[in-house]
Homo-oligomer: A and B are copies of this chain.
Amino acid sequence: VYTTTVQPAPRSRSQCAVCVLRHRGLCAGVDDLDLDGSAALEAAHGATRVYDAGDVIYQQGDRSDQVFNLITGWVAIHRDFADGRRQIVEFLQPEAMFGMEAAGDLMGHGATALTNASVCPIGTAKLDDLRRRVPSLNERFIWLLQRGGRRLREAQATLGQGSAKERIAALLNQLAAIATGRAPMRAGAQVRIPLTQRLIAEATGLTSIHVNRVLRLLRESGVVEFQASQLRIVSPDKLRALAEPEDDSAARGSRLAPDEGYEDERRAPVTDRSRALLHGLA
């Protein structure tokens, strides 16, 4: 029981014929994947692996000799502490690629299936070859890494600065946006998000008990309703206000009228905050 739970054997294997479809995440926008290249991809990737909810795909500290494309299901990327604490770094949805660790390093994180899930592995060595042969695939790979970094920075910012309410709102907002394919959210829209309150807690750095209270708050204040893995977005505006308090060139806008900006700065009481905002860090 123990060994299979920690490192379960894949349940079934099936050779995937149209492998580009299974690697949409990696291949999206790749236009020069000629016959030679797609044959190489076909040859490079391994057999599809199927996991049950809760199965460990790999563990922190494992050798990192392959990367994975998530075909179906949800996966959590997490970082484990020796004393049992766990931080969920990211929730992955289909088409995500994961397990890319810097050459020579062991896995700095673990991956666990949250639902039944199927993934397609590719050996890193083979992927490296493929990248060198197919330039636009190389670019796509880099793009994935960069966008991943951006998401991590955003998550880190909300984790460091956000209140419990903001953290949870940001998480739900982001998951909903990805799940709906970035379609604009309408009031009342429903999204399936297969997370328990415990998982939300581990991702937001809160207690599951506190997550429960905050979810009630969000429900009572007409923002979102999250019950039985169903997220109902009551007020997209309220949700966005909570989830995205980013700056993003607010200063840039005001630079269109530098005089006013200058006046404002002179007149307003110069608090720590406003000063930091205007003058940068030091």
Contacts and interface: CB of A to CB of B under 8 A. Distances in A.
Nearest to A6: B251
Contacts of A18: none
A205 interface: yes
Interface string A250-282: 111001001001100100000001101111111
Given A54-B282, A112-B282, A147-B102, A252 B61 contact: yes
Interface stretch (A34-42, A154-162, A181-189): A154-162
Interface residues of A, number: 90
A245 B82 contact: yes
23 contacts: A2-B278, A5-B280, A6-B255, A7-B255, A59-B249, A61-B247, A61-B248, A62-B252, A76-B281, A81-B247, A84-B277, A89-B156, A101-B146, A106-B249, A108-B150, A112-B281, A112-B282, A141-B142, A145-B149, A149-B149, A152-B153, A160-B205, A199-B281
Contacts of A152: 149, 152-153, 156
